[in-house]
A and B are shown apart, each in its own frame.
Chain A
Amino acid sequence: MLDTLSQLGAGFIACLSPVHMLMLFVGLLVGLLVGILPGLTLVMGVVLFLPFTYQMEVTSAIILLTAMYVSGTYGGAFTSILFRIPGEPIHVPLLWDGYAMAKKGQPAKALGWTLVAALIGGLVSAAIMVVLTKPVAQFALRFSSPEYFAIVLLGLASVISLGKGSLSSALISLSVGLLVASVGTDAIYGSYRFTFESPILADGIEFLVVMVGAYGVAEVLARLELGFTSAPLQGVSDTRTQLPSLKEISGLKGMLLRSTLLGHVVGIIPGAGATIASFVSYGVESQFGRQRGRMGSGVPEGIVAPQCAATASVGGALIPLLALGIPGSGATAAILGAFMLHGVQPGPQVMMTSPAMVYTIFASLFVGIVFMCVLGYFAIRPLVKIMDFPEAVVSSFVMVFCFIGALSIRSNVTDLWLMLGFGVVGYLFERMRFPIAPMVLGVILGPLAEEAFMNSMISFQNDWTVFFTRPISGSVLVLVALTLLLPVIGTLIPRRRAAPAE
């Protein structure tokens, strides 16, 4: 423990260097803007900023993207509470009590509760992350290829069952992703697969091309088709934040801890993330909380629970990414991409070989959360004012970011064409209600799953029972089966619905 604390201390010192602080500040600001601006999502923002990190040192790059990730879970709260416009599904639960409290004439108080929830949830979750990551990584060192295959399979199963869309559409989306990942030169035998004699396809399709197209271009095309219909905002000029008193905060300490732990645990699960954390935490409070009868009428509990869990999920999501090298969501997949672009493969080894980098990233999360709340407190008016910016202008710049993102990967126009192709695929997926996340995670995790599977089969003489007979992989496969059953069970259980704030 002392060793961890001393490494974290060194991480804080490294984090306070001017370059890292600049990256942190830029990441927080952009993350808040991405959360606020219509047509931009948290994942899109993180993906679009990847090209800027090419020339950066790896730690600065990860600090920038992690700061965007954490502040993206907070920025959209402003517009949910003030204008009943959730920037992302994460902030839908804030419509029920946050907007209701604003309508009762207390928007500043509602924003204050959001700030406190993000601050406490984020910091406590970051502390848990620091304590847990090293033991998880040490445990993962025992893994062999069957265990890795089972863990990757769990990630793929969770994104199907915990995500959006019907199970069948998610499975089709996943199979598309696995197929895209198999294009290029096979890692085991060196055979060409689906390359159609194109030299660039022999190198495979970069997952960033898929991500930028499916998340960035597809979203802009979908909004363009609707004619960029965002309405101008009213009443921005008197926006401010009023912090609750210490006595008020103390009255909710149990619930703050509960929501933080819940958000953290949900964040660890691959495929789950801030959205599920936010909804589940609100659901738990409305079922079991002290104020369950008043939820939906503008009570602080209804604001604190979802925001606290959403921000806490970031600390949880970074554990499987750093300790196992497995991203559980679009945002962590983009962060994994940044690691790989800089030649670093996160996983159990990285904790042992590059502790300085890992602990600087940890420290940046603590500093980032505090700065995010300071920014949110003092800069809320100009931040919200940005919503008045014309959507056509923002979207045209987003498109150029996508183009640069594709061109900068291999400096080849074919990547630009591929990215546009995946943009059209992403648009069609959206129209046909096929979820995009399974495809993207299929592209990222597909090669890992294939390699682990093929290595297992080679090592264990094609004995496929090895996945079930080894204790860890067998247990994880049971979890895979349970995860896939979850949506079916979910449809059978009737849920109580909170009264929406009207």
Chain B
Amino acid sequence: MTALAMKSRVSAGLPYVLLLVVSAVLWYYANHIDVAARPGQLGPDFWPKLAIGLMAIVSLIELARAVVSPNHKEAHGITDQLESAEPLADADEQGDRSLPLLLGGMAMSGGYALSLGIIGFPLATFLFLAGFMYLGRFRRHTMIWTSSFIGAAVFSVLFLKVVYVSLPRGIAPFDTITDLIVGLH
């Protein structure tokens, strides 16, 4: 077996190894569910164990297939079979993927969740909108800042004053902005 073939088998089988590990960990936790069933009855751990078992069995079969024959033919869902007549442009064919952009997007989203409780919904949304547009390689500055401001203001008024969704106000002094929008000042 060549090194390339070996690498192909390892990369094909790796996701299923991970899934088997996850299944084992989840099975461990499922065994620690506080079972209150009467003897002879199925307990609350039965259903999750059924799902874990399904995941583990399918992963095991796929792992075996990946190791024995990495290029095996698989049965696909009917939509896949119908779409194969005219496949939509695959992401891989559309252009180069950019990991920094992806990680940037994830980091910005995490940053939004972290900052929300501190600076409040209006300011966090304004900064996120502007930052995400820049991250997406859009460079019309006036449009970015104007649309972010209008967007954040409209969302804040709509959800804080009209729909009454309880969104984070932020801590002082940032809560002043939220209070201004909801009309407490």
Contacts and interface: CB of A to CB of B under 8 A. Distances in A.
A78 B110 CA distance: 37
A225 B80 CA distance: 24
A362 B46 CA distance: 40
A420 B78 contact: no
A307 B107 CA distance: 41
B33 interface: yes
A153 to B, nearest CB: 12
B88 A86 contact: yes
A229 B97 CA distance: 11
A172 B83 contact: no
A397 B81 CA distance: 34
B157 interface: no
Interface in A436-480: 446, 450, 453-454, 457-458, 462
Nearest to A279: B82
A12 B13 CA distance: 57
A377 B134 CA distance: 36
Interface stretch (B1-9, B56-64, B177-185): B56-64
> A-side binding surface: helix, strand, loop or mixed?
helix
Q: Which of B46, B47, B61 has the most CB of A within 10 A?
A: B47
A167 B101 contact: no
Interface residues of A, number: 92
A176 B55 contact: yes
Interface in A395-412: 395-397, 399-400, 403-404, 407-408, 411
Contacts of B165: 51, 54, 404, 407-408, 411
A167 B79 contact: no
A491 B85 CA distance: 13
A170 B77 contact: yes
B91 A222 contact: yes
Given A175-B51, A192-B34, A399-B109, A488 B41 contact: no
Nearest to B110: A420
B102 A225 contact: yes
A179 B48 contact: yes
A119 interface: no
Contacts of A395: 132, 136
B155 interface: yes
A172 B74 contact: no
Interface in A199-254: 217, 220-222, 224-229
Contacts of A176: 55
A168 B62 contact: yes
Contacts, number: 257
Given A89-B83, A168-B58, A487 B77 contact: yes
A408 B159 contact: yes
Nearest to A280: B82
> B-side binding surface: helix, strand, loop or mixed?
helix
Interface string B89-104: 0010011111101101
A172 B109 contact: no
Contacts of B58: 168, 171-172, 175
B129 A397 contact: yes
B75 interface: yes
Contacts of B73: 491
B78 A276 contact: yes
B142 to A, nearest CB: 12
Nearest to B164: A55
Contacts of A166: 74-77, 80
Contacts of A408: 159, 163, 165-167
A171 B54 CA distance: 8
A427 B116 CA distance: 24
A500 interface: yes
A275 B109 contact: no
Given A166-B74, A224-B101, A404-B155, A92 B86 contact: yes
B68 interface: no
B17 interface: no
A165 B78 CA distance: 9
Contacts of A226: 91, 94-98
Contacts of B54: 171, 174-175, 178
Interface of A: 51-52, 54-55, 86, 89, 92-93, 95-96, 160-168, 170-172, 174-176, 178-179, 182, 186, 188-194, 217, 220-222, 224-229, 272, 275-276, 279-280, 283, 390-393, 395-397, 399-400, 403-404, 407-408, 411, 413, 416-417, 420, 423-424, 427, 430, 432, 435, 446, 450, 453-454, 457-458, 462, 486-488, 490-491, 495, 497-498, 500
23 contacts: A55-B163, A89-B79, A89-B88, A92-B88, A95-B86, A96-B86, A163-B77, A163-B79, A167-B75, A178-B50, A179-B48, A182-B48, A189-B35, A226-B94, A392-B133, A397-B129, A399-B109, A403-B128, A404-B159, A408-B167, A446-B47, A487-B81, A490-B81
Given A55-B163, A172-B55, A392-B135, 9 more contacts: A54-B163, A55-B164, A86-B88, A163-B80, A182-B48, A393-B143, A396-B132, A396-B133, A400-B155
